[in-house]
Structure 1
Amino acid sequence: MNSLLEQIKKRRIALELKQHDMMLRIGISRQQYQRLESKGNPRLDTLELIAKGLKSELLLIPQEKLNVVLNVLAEESKASNTPSQSAKEKNKSLTDDPWQGLLGENE
């Protein structure tokens, strides 16, 4: 399991954000954020700000449930990497019915 600071850095990179971008998202300077990400010991309120800035949530997961949570996240990740419909099929269906899904209806 990665340390919390490693997870924060990986999430920031996954969102294609630079350390400087965090200043606009959470209101701390790039230098402060860099220090925090590399070897910091952030306070809880700072962690909550960072989580919001990274479109994430802080959760306390009981150790006995950790494997279940990790498995659910892994399955969700696999499902999101599997396209449900090819781009060509989507374009064709939109050409046939340009109003498809406009109101959020599942057809």
Structure 2
Amino acid sequence: MNSLLAQIKKRRIALALKQHDMMLRVGMSRQQYQRLESKGNPRLDTLELVAKGLKSELLLIPQEKLNAVLAVLADDTMASTQPSQSVKEESKSLADDPWQGLLGENE
């Protein structure tokens, strides 16, 4: 598992933000934010502020639940990148019959 600081950096990059952008989002200078990402030891309130700026949440996960949480997050990531079978079937049937279900008919 990545360190928390590495996760913060990864999230910032995923949002296509530069360190300078964090000044506008959380009110800290680029230098302060750069120090936090590289070797910082931020206070909890600073971490909460950064998380909010990165559209994220801080969570305390019990170790015995960590694998379950990671599995759920992995499934959620896969689900968001691949359309579900029912969505595929629905779009196919609508393409075949664009009038399907328009009048609330049961088929």
On whether the aligned pair clears a TM of 0.5, the verdict is: yes
Counterpart mapping for 1:18-29 below 5 A: 18-29=18-29
For 1:30, give the aligned amino acid. R
Q: TM-score, normalised by structure 1?
A: 0.78
Distance in 1 of aligned mates of 2:18 and 2:56: 16
Equivalent pairs counted in the alignment come to 91
Encode CA deviations 1:6-55: one digit per residue, 9 max, x unaligned. Answer: 00000000011000000000000000000100000000000000000000
The Cα RMSD (Å) is 1.8
Summarize the alignment of residues 83-98 of structure 1 with structure 2, pairs less than 5 Å apart.
83-84=83-84
Consecutive aligned runs of 4 or more in structure 1 exceeding 6 Å deviation? none
Aligned to 2:42: 42
5+ residue gaps, structure 2:
100-107
C-alpha displacement of 1:58 = 0.4
Deviation per residue, 1:64-88 (Å, 9 max, x gap): 00000000000000000113568xx
Q: Residue 32 of structure 1 aligns with which residue? A: 32
Separation in 2, partners of 1:16, 1:60: 26
Q: Structure 1 unaligned runs (5+)?
A: 98-107
TM-score using structure 2 length: 0.78
Please identify the structure whose Cα radius of gyration is greater: 2
1:19 is matched by which residue type in structure 2?
A: Q
Over the matched positions of the two proteins, sequence identity in percent amounts to: 78
* Amino acid paired to 1:52: K
